Amino acid sequence: MTKVLIVSDNHGDRAILERLVAGWKAKVDLMIHCGDSEIPSQDPLMQSFVRVAGNNDWHLGYAPDQLVLVGGARILVTHGHHYGVDSSMTPLMLKGESTGADIVCFGHTHQLFATVERGMLMVNPGSISLPRGQFAVLSGTFAVVTVTPQMFTVDFYDRDSHRQPKLHQEFSREERAHD
């Protein structure tokens, strides 16, 4: 079992990232930031995360995408703006397929989202600082994904690390195993 914390779009809100690192780093196997941190990549705080550039992270030293392997899962990390996630998931899904990703993590829309397409878990943790859409009332969200050989389990948390039970999702990985 592997646990991955995914956060995005804090837009310069350093304090929330400090709280996440302090409260979660010892509880998860990997911490991912999907861009728009607006904090330089060499900042010691950002070293706790696998991190990528968002559309507001120009010249801060981030790659546009990262592919990481943890606990047997290939995870593609991106912000999403280069793949047009505001209008279609298809380009990002095709990028995930081309890399052999099991999980695709992205931000940009500021709206939490999780689904499985073609055996890949597609997950947007929402914005931790500037949420939009139906769940904006939570004042910011992040995700914790638990990966086993059989399942992806996605839990969303608010800024105060309160799990949101109504947003809990489980997805079988069996489809991918048979492709």
Query: Per residue in 127-178, pLDDT tens?
Result: 999 999 999 999 999 999 999 999 999 999 999 999 999 999 999 987 544 4
Q: Residue ranges of the domains in the chain?
A: 2-178
d(CA 32, CA 160): 18
User: Are 80 and 65 spatial neighbours (Cβ–Cβ below 8 Å)?
Assistant: no
d(CA 72, CA 65): 19
C-alpha torsion sign, points 118, 121, 126, 132: positive
Q: What is the pTM of this model?
A: 0.96
Enumerate the β-bridge partners of residue 151.
172
User: Are 144 and 3 spatial neighbours (Cβ–Cβ below 8 Å)?
Assistant: yes
Superfamily (CATH H level) for 2-178 = Metallo-dependent phosphatases (3.60.21.10)
User: Are 79 and 54 spatial neighbours (Cβ–Cβ below 8 Å)?
Assistant: yes
- Please give the pLDDT value at position 175: 55
